[in-house]
Structure 1
Amino acid sequence: MTEPALNPDLIALLRSPRTRSSLHVEGSELASPDGSERYPIVGGVPRLAGESYVGSFGRQWNRYDVARTEEDEATFEAKTGVAPREMAGKRVLDAGCGGGRYAKLLGDHGAEVLGVDLSSAVDKAAALCAGLPGVQIVQADLLDLPVVEEAFDLVFSIGVLHHSPDPRRAFAEIARRVRPGGRLAVWLYRRNTPPQEWLNTGVRALTTRLPARVLEPLCAGLGALGSVPVLNRTLNKLVNFSAHPDWTLRVCDNFDWWAPEHQSHHTLPELSSWFVEEGFENLVELRPMKSGRLYGWAYDRDLIIGSGVNVAGRKRLRP
């Protein structure tokens, strides 16, 4: 299998995680100007960090095929406020690209995309985006992002920062990569009612300690519950499990909820305040695709487990 070609323009945006010096390609490595720092390039992916605490995501995205073009188009637009076709010719940072479905989507529409993820899911992302010269996948840490600042027309992070040990710091890191006048969109898990939070936190205290070989069958069992209408409209408001119509996505969603070491929940005012503190304006709350009077009532009262808080904004221009 041919290794994905590197995108020189996007590679030029990378910096040393240690010294912030520029990096250039030397054979199968990225090297600092004096050669004292070297980072491997494996499978067309520069490796600027190790997998660390996100091993469950590497397993998850490499194991489950979740790219669904039509659904991904709709989800991306709903969670960023931007249609993928509008990004043709624009430079985009996919902050926490996972298996690469949104990077591929944007690359297919002619965007220049840097996809960054800390987990070994970068292998899946690179394979998915192979043949798209405008997409470059990099393994790096959003908590110390080795990418030049103010370089992107759009930076987005969908369902990622709440899995960081320091979501606020990760937010600040990605916010600094937006150019003045550019757009930032972030989706985080919503903080639910206290009883829901207590129950799910208590269960996760167990599931996060289970080996994947034990947890995955449990997630498949929850996937079966998710196919039963009376259960996926009632029981999953107490203990989270996916009701997605696609079996693979149900199981993957369940693993995504119960496996990760870190999972924080947030409020709309909290997330909005982060945008303001980092110099963004024209903030807009992005409502979920799903509609209906009952759903809207429950969503606004923080009753839907696994739902999100979703904000987009524009970075202020300099005076």
Structure 2
Amino acid sequence: MNHQGKDENLDQGVIDSFGHEWAAFDYTETETAQALDAQFLAYCAPIDLGQFDPAKAVAADFGAGSGRWSSRLAPYFSLVYALEPSDGASTVLKKKFADDATIKVLQETVGANSIPDASLDLAMSLGVLHHIPDTGLAIKDVSRAIKPGGYFLCYLYYSLENKPVYYRMIFKGVNLVRGIISNLPQRLKRLSATIIASVVYWPLARISKLLTKIGKDTSNFPLHHYADMPFVMLANDALDRFGTTLEQRFSKAQITEMVRAADFDISTLKFSDSEPFWTFAVQKNS
């Protein structure tokens, strides 16, 4: 059974905003490929993609955006659904994968889509479900499409529970700025994010890289995760971070409870020990 009725668990303004973002950052250029490969490997830390049979296994990327992760998932599967609700990003996806028989683009939502129940060996959603009003319900919607014993690989913004007090104070200030920028017109939103990437992300990332080279621990240095990323990825992430009006953050405990309620086997839940936090993988109950 598939589910294509009306999806109430969404924010159309957020969807449209991300559609503009992925139309602007479509990642068709090659200079970011190495950095994207490294980031994808970091996301996949909790799971072994080599366990899937590429001749018959089926996966889905819930919230595919520009398709940067769908394309990296495809070598491990016979079919990858690239599910994306926005007009802007769906246009990018359909053009990018027009000649790729492995990737099927669906302009549908997490809660209302044509993916058959219990059909997926892997469902993946990286940095998406925290932008849906009811994240717990969204996880249940994803779970419905996964086979018994199949896997869910997910990245949700963390609540900074493993960071020092000063780090959380900085975040509160950043969040106030996000509240202003996210309500600007799209062009001003993107311009603001590019300026932030230039004067905040880039300098701090490079300082972090320098400190690492001289042997300093930068794990609690702001934006250290961007030390080796090209500027276009910093600009993209700044827009992603400051451009949305809906952002939620979760602790490990909260994620565990949402996963438990969505019919996953908690004994298989594995959180990544490295950034980005929290990335996790879990199996569906058999």
Which range, TM-score by smaller chain? 0.7 to 0.9
**Counterpart check, 1:220 vs 2:181:** no
Give the C-alpha shift of residue 137 in structure 1.
Answer: 0.7
Give the C-alpha shift of residue 58 in structure 1.
Answer: 0.8
**Counterpart check, 1:76 vs 2:40:** yes
SS at match of 1:101: coil
1:56 match: 17
1:265 match: 249
- Which stretches of structure 1, 4 residues or more, deviate above 6 A after TM superposition? 236-241
Distance 2:264 2:174 in 1: 33
Match of 1:310 among 254, 273, 279: 279
For the structure 1 residues 244 and 128, does the alpha-carbon distance in structure 2 shift closer, same or farther, using more than 3 Å as the test?
A: farther
Where does structure 1 lack aligned partners over 5 or more consecutive residues? 1-12, 20-48, 290-306
* Greater Rg by CA: 1
Match of 2:69 among 93, 96, 102: 102
**1:145–1:174 Cα contact (<8 Å) kept:** no
For the structure 1 residues 168 and 110, does the alpha-carbon distance in structure 2 shift closer, same or farther, using more than 3 Å as the test?
A: closer
For the structure 1 residues 107 and 278, does the alpha-carbon distance in structure 2 shift closer, same or farther, using more than 3 Å as the test?
A: same
**Counterpart check, 1:188 vs 2:176:** no
**Counterpart check, 1:288 vs 2:274:** yes
**1:232–1:242 Cα contact (<8 Å) kept:** no
Write out per-residue CA displacement over residues 155-178 of structure 1, whole angstroms, 9 at most, x where no aligned residue: 011000011111111111101211
Distance 1:190 1:18 in 2: 30
Which amino acid in the other structure matches residue 211 of structure 1?
A: P
SS at match of 1:154: strand
Distance 1:176 1:76 in 2: 25
SS at match of 1:156: strand
Which amino acid in the other structure matches residue 200 of structure 1?
A: V
* Percent sequence identity over aligned pairs: 19
**2:23–2:92 Cα contact (<8 Å) kept:** yes
Which amino acid in the other structure matches residue 65 of structure 1?
A: D
1:30 match: none
Give the C-alpha shift of residue 118 in structure 1.
Answer: 1.4
RMSD: 3.0
**1:157–1:186 Cα contact (<8 Å) kept:** yes
**1:100–1:126 Cα contact (<8 Å) kept:** no
Give the C-alpha shift of residue 146 in structure 1.
Answer: 4.1
Which amino acid in the other structure matches residue 40 of structure 2?
A: F
SS at match of 2:278: strand
Higher share in helix: 2
SS at match of 2:174: helix
- How many pairs are equivalent? 258
**1:223–1:241 Cα contact (<8 Å) kept:** no
Where does structure 2 lack aligned partners over 5 or more consecutive residues? 209-217
For the structure 1 residues 50 and 272, does the alpha-carbon distance in structure 2 shift closer, same or farther, using more than 3 Å as the test?
A: closer
1:38 match: none
With 73-82 and 55-64 compared, the bigger mean Cα shift is at: 73-82
Which amino acid in the other structure matches residue 39 of structure 2?
A: T
